[in-house]
Chain A
């Protein structure tokens, strides 16, 4: 099945809005989503799986007397099914209660242009090309060391498109491509198994290096062998982007969402203009980041995405808003409404959360740390206290830094503390910025982190 074209999707969205208004909605918004994904997967040392997933659907939000109803369907071919969906949304709104804070859907705005978010080459790829890339990755890992066992991974490409229309005349269409290759490995020697080590490339254009991914995933697994326990103390910790992403996702990123702030769930409430991090820390939420994994022309409710300054040299400058939370404060949305395809109503979410890099190389950063811990991944970050930012997590794998060099792998290490103390204690940043999920960041060096060992 070919992708629904731009004209047809926008037309479907507009017709759905019109129908909702005709049926009595005060306001209406339709969102049409389509995703096509092709994957070749590696499982336990071999390429043995393939998948093609086609998912499309339409979500309709209607407002009646300030009460919001939502309904979705994935049956798009039948006009009847779409109309039924609209009627369900209206029925839901009627069953619901008015929201006195409701101040309307977004109004019409022009959308910015974005760079490097779409690659025509994706359509020219055959499954054979993906098998070839997966095979290069696998060979690179296995060639590195015979103690390495590739447990899972693969190569995948996807094409997403979305169209939106609302009763205020908002109308938009955008499409994007994604390419990813990844490999998870463990190192095995005698009875020792390492924690899972992982490396990947994720890009908007077909610009991946499976050979590097395979080699790196293998190198990590080998160096995670012969891990030792360490003493409990407060020390310097370097967080890689993986660890930082896990930590921030459940703490800081929630704390800057206007929804959390307005509902007294954020430790950053009333702290605009105050120092909340070390002066080395500058963070943007950049919905227009070139080639960013969350870069789109407009957000989940048709508001232009934008670049918002969050923390400037340690000073908290802004929160991120969707239309609803923005209007509650009589300000403009920052284009941070996100939705899970056609299945959900919009929610406040970060786009590309960009932690500006420093000047030091990776090696210089390790050298500067002198003594401490290099933490690759965290386990259990989702059990952090999302309100206060307190966390208590396992660092695995992690490596001990001695005399400014990586000495050996550490096992059974926990980190405990509060994200805002961590941000205050950032003492240096590397220049090795990369994209991981919604984070764009370098490695960061943090002083005085509580490390719990034996």
Chain B
């Protein structure tokens, strides 16, 4: 996944989850908000609402406070404690409108509070506003995770995603591979042809990653001329084949600022065909030491370690 493809869901209608024990209210909101093009999800109580939120991941929640069983405050607390749902904006829609109730709702993380009875035009505007704020927050968050020169994800994003992917692969016993790529003799390029030439090389490699990697792969700029490629559902041998293909393409590129001088990269790969109990940080270290082994053994090559039982080391150049 490169940042350019990460918001493919923009044309999907926003999902509005209404958690309220009043059937009349559901019917009203379903028709009147549904007419705005939203996909409406109904939950008639707190427990049901939490279940639907976890299952359907809504874009905004309209939450009643006074409900039998799990009340709105408890639902709000649970939503904000769930890492997958804590950023979903919650508009409290309630007949409880004392200052104390409002303060509690905002302190628990509600983005807005609308008293019942409410004006439909006002509610529609508030839903639009909550969705807009949420979208802007996501955009800001994404920008903070992007590398300015290449448009790839940055190292901070890598750290989070790598830990998540490693955990997921181990839990589901799925393949996962990691490659660390470093441009060979990059300092020479900079010193000989200037920093713009070096930047062009970095950008050229980033474009190759964007073109060659699958949508589910994650390409990050790890450091100056170093990149990390997270490849979920990819065995180490497949990762090696992919990195080798990219390495060959990169080596064959011609650079307008130094047409007579090609550039290569070295690559260290560590992967597993199933979830192996290797700490994510150790996994990175293994890929990194393979990278340096590739450098030491002559550069312009990839070295891979298969971390699944009976590991073996293979070298390609």
A binds B: no
Chain B residues close to A by CB (< 8 Å): none
Chain A residues close to B by CB (< 8 Å): none
